[in-house]
Amino acid sequence: MAGDGVRTTCPYCGVGCGVIATPASDGGWRVTGDPEHPANFGRLCSKGTALAETIDLDGRLLSPRIGGRDADWEEALDLVAARFGAAIAQHGPDSVAFYVSGQLLTEDYYVANKLMKGFIGSANIDTNSRLCMASSVAGHRRAFGADTVPGSYADLELADLVILVGSNLAWCHPVLYQRLAAAKAARPTMRIVVIDPRRTMTADLADLFLPILPDGDVVLFLGLLAHLDAAGRVDRDWCAAHVGGMQDALAAAHAVIAHELPVLTGLSADLIERFYALVAATDKTVTVYSQGVNQSASGTDKVNAIINCHLLTGRIGRPGMGPFSVTGQPNAMGGRETGGLANMLAAHMNLEDEGHRALVRKFWRAPALPTQPGLKAVDLFRAVGEGRIKALWIMATNPVDSLPDADAVRDAIRACPFVVVSDILPDTDTTKLAHVLLPALGWGEKDGTVTNSERRISRQRAFLPAPGQARPDWWALAEVAKRLGHGDAFAYDGPADILAEFAALSGRGNDGARDFDISALAGIDGADFDALQPFQWPWPEGTERRETRFFADGRFYTPDRKARAVAVTLPDLGAFATDRLILNTGRVRDHWHTMTRTGRSATLSAHLAEPFAEIHPEDALARGIAPADLVELSSAQGRIVVRALLSSRQRCGSVFVPMHWSEAYASAGRVDVLVPPLTDPVSGQPASKRSAVELRRHPAALYGFALLRRKPTTFSADYWALARTHGGWRVELAWDRMPDSPDLLAQALLGEGESLSYRDAASGQMRFARFDGAALAGLLYLSPQPVELSRVWAAGLLRAEMDMPQARLAVLAGRADAGRPDDGPVLCACNAVGANVIHAAIDAGAMDVDAIGAATRAGTTCGSCRAEIRGLLHGRKLQAAE
């Protein structure tokens, strides 16, 4: 406890920030950063700051459901066990599968993996972390002999050079970005290089920005390895003592002809030279990489090309040095540790290693362990589609939206004979397909541990009671295990009990032979579990808790304890048809995964409220696409319709679409329907950042914008996108053909009651507003062109007094009156500061981010928007210089 607050951990990204949940005076909760947590020292980003907005029970799944009807746990668990048992008996253990998630706690993960691998006898358990960092895991295992993240966040602050590759840290790991930005501000000699096809907000912090071709990073780092060698930056003694395979790796790197580098990377020779010179001259270098590296058909090779450079120079295992993979999810690392991937065993042991299998089998007293890896995510759903999986249990994830070839995944799940989904919501695009729905505990209700990107294990603590019949995932798994006849092995009292067992397994037969060892917790009881403080693994039995940096002694986890340099060769990228664009998918600042939680927050929905395609202005011009048009993107797999956002931050020839929108929030915004099921051959990770797509303007006969106090249940429009706003909902609409009666359409959307309307025959504009006493109940604007209206101003109308005639007329006029100026699009979500307010502050003389913060409060709470404020300021300075 912290005062009357509860210390727990943010459930979103892999930074793993500590938060304190405190009861608020209005009966709700306040969530603040934990000043004592070593990941964030009190900082939070916009998503963490808005956590309290996401924990209400509106729309929650509160009891098990079978075939759409409410059921009790007994009946549901009996059915799950019976159907899994029957499939195993009839078709063998490999006819069933679990698809789990980096949202699960370590204890849930451990029990799921133990049940599938130890007692069902199949390795068909994979996790959505396969989509996130499987290439890093594979790269680590090839280089280090184990999936070891060598360093800590502090290394980013200690480095003289931080290289960010395929990592939009400012939006995807905002608190780590804030730590880096603060370190650079305190020590301006620190250099930052950003390598990304897109000029993301992170790039605004860079001393050097390399707008690389998609998947050009393998060759860039091959060239770097050759350059470091030629420049005499090889740590020969260290390499000789601690690295194998370097000669082959160097030969492969030198085979890349220097003059081909600009063609293969899309970078100028000068830019490449400046980057290489900077790395050669800087010992204290950290290379941070993320989904831009991992989500590629050559992802594992990219990881090893990066690690090779660190091995060659001995820049690993020392303060301010090392390769550093940052994970997307709150417990992706916990999943890796417990063996949640289909090709790993628990406690970082290897499925293919007979000794490891024997150790785990004996420890668990398991009847049999599989000897071969199970199906990785994409293959797993392919097997479901082919009818090879007869019973499937999905936990805490939404593969219908997040896997590549998403429509095929939906068809596969729909056709599967028996599908169980454990979730907190009954109506995600995946839960809608379940035969059995099991109500899980959500964040704030569940108890256990998670591991962040720097190997720090923290507690997630419950501060809310379990609602309805919701139960922990580990409990549901253990109950099914009992019904399958394995009761003794799954008789857990609670998460402490499970962690104690997992910790004991990690230390069994270890003695430093394996990296993952938390055996100091082997005897942990409930009281110590409650009091557990964040710590970095390893923490072997009999040692004191301490911060660690792996490989300081040059000993790795291969049989000869030497690291392996991997001879990486040029990937075959294949050619794209000239009329295709390269689709890149990723995250936005204020939403998370498929928005099942962040979509509930009006604060977070204010930043980007609609699915969009970020398009370079030249690509747009060539296709007759204007700003705010609707555009259609299509591939051999599917089609989506989203809003056009023109930006020169986007590389010409590429288009970016965020991954978050599902059918709950948009009519056709599921970007993964476009992505082919192409994977990295080593890691099995999907290549989600380089798909060929066609782009064209989507002609609409009529566009609309509606603001509604109540959530609409159906839409008559061909296109819609829904977002929560304070006091109601905002909806973007479009019709392919002119509706017969706009009046009826308005009535259906706004309902009956006191109303006003306006028509301009010349422009075709129509506006409708309905009032409920002194309040606006809803408005609808219709136009033959995309509706020009400040959405922020409009959203504020739901909270405004509407009893004066001029206020009502202003609603129809569609513009701010003098008493209520238009703040412009929201940049700072925490303090609801719009771009117009920031522009006004700049006009008034605020010339840096802090001065703007002092004048407007923008960027002064979580700081996630500081990169955007800096970008806006930068743009204004450029304008002034023209």
Positions touching ligand SF4 (CB under 6 A) are 10, 12-13, 15-17, 40, 44-45, 47-48, 173-175
Q: How far is the CB of 153 from ligand SF4 (least distance, A)?
A: 11
Q: How far is the CB of 323 from ligand SF4 (least distance, A)?
A: 21
The two three-digit tokens of residue 719, written as one number: 């296109």
Q: How far is the CB of 9 from ligand SF4 (least distance, A)?
A: 8
In which element (H, E) is residue 772 found? strand 765-772
Q: How far is the CB of 27 from ligand SF4 (least distance, A)?
A: 24
The two three-digit tokens of residue 833, written as one number: 């500061």
Measured from the CB atom, the residue of 32 and 634 that comes closer to ligand SF4 is 32
Measured from the CB atom, the residue of 174 and 339 that comes closer to ligand SF4 is 174
Collapsing DSSP to helix, strand or coil, 506 comes out as helix
Q: How far is the CB of 622 from ligand SF4 (least distance, A)?
A: 37
Residue 121 CB neighbours (<10 A): 16
Measured from the CB atom, the residue of 334 and 824 that comes closer to ligand SF4 is 334
Measured from the CB atom, the residue of 10 and 807 that comes closer to ligand SF4 is 10
Q: How far is the CB of 179 from ligand SF4 (least distance, A)?
A: 10
Long-range contacts of 465-469 (CB under 8 A, 24+ apart): 466/441, 467/57, 467/60, 467/62, 468/60, 468/62, 468/63, 468/439, 469/62, 469/63, 469/64, 469/72, 469/73, 469/439
Cα torsion 475, 479, 485, 488: sign: positive
Q: How far is the CB of 170 from ligand SF4 (least distance, A)?
A: 11
User: Are 282 and 160 a contacting pair, CB within 8 Å?
Assistant: yes
Measured from the CB atom, the residue of 12 and 781 that comes closer to ligand SF4 is 12
Measured from the CB atom, the residue of 685 and 864 that comes closer to ligand SF4 is 864
Q: How far is the CB of 561 from ligand SF4 (least distance, A)?
A: 34
**DSSP-assigned beta bridge partners for residue 327:** none
Measured from the CB atom, the residue of 15 and 234 that comes closer to ligand SF4 is 15
In which element (H, E) is residue 250 found? helix 246-254
Cα–Cα distance measured from residue 389 to residue 387, given in angstroms and rounded to the nearest whole number: 6
Measured from the CB atom, the residue of 330 and 796 that comes closer to ligand SF4 is 330
Measured from the CB atom, the residue of 46 and 430 that comes closer to ligand SF4 is 46
Q: How far is the CB of 43 from ligand SF4 (least distance, A)?
A: 7
**DSSP-assigned beta bridge partners for residue 646:** 615
Position closest to ligand SF4 via CB: 48
User: Are 393 and 99 a contacting pair, CB within 8 Å?
Assistant: yes
Q: How far is the CB of 628 from ligand SF4 (least distance, A)?
A: 29
Q: How far is the CB of 12 from ligand SF4 (least distance, A)?
A: 3
User: Are 667 and 657 a contacting pair, CB within 8 Å?
Assistant: no
Measured from the CB atom, the residue of 182 and 626 that comes closer to ligand SF4 is 182
Task: Compute the half-sphere exposure of residue 635: CA atoms within 13 Å on the CB side of its CA.
Answer: 21
Measured from the CB atom, the residue of 16 and 340 that comes closer to ligand SF4 is 16
Strand ranges for 196-327 from DSSP E: 208-210, 243-244, 285-289, 322-325
Cα–Cα distance measured from residue 345 to residue 348, given in angstroms and rounded to the nearest whole number: 6
Query: Within 545-693, where are the H helices?
Result: 602-605, 617-622
Nearby residues of 729 by Cβ (< 8 Å), 6 or more positions away: 707, 708, 709, 710, 711, 712, 722, 723
Q: How far is the CB of 792 from ligand SF4 (least distance, A)?
A: 23
Strand ranges for 396-443 from DSSP E: 418-423, 436-439
Closest of 357, 396, 332 to residue 106, by C-alpha: 332
The two three-digit tokens of residue 657, written as one number: 């679409």
Measured from the CB atom, the residue of 17 and 830 that comes closer to ligand SF4 is 17
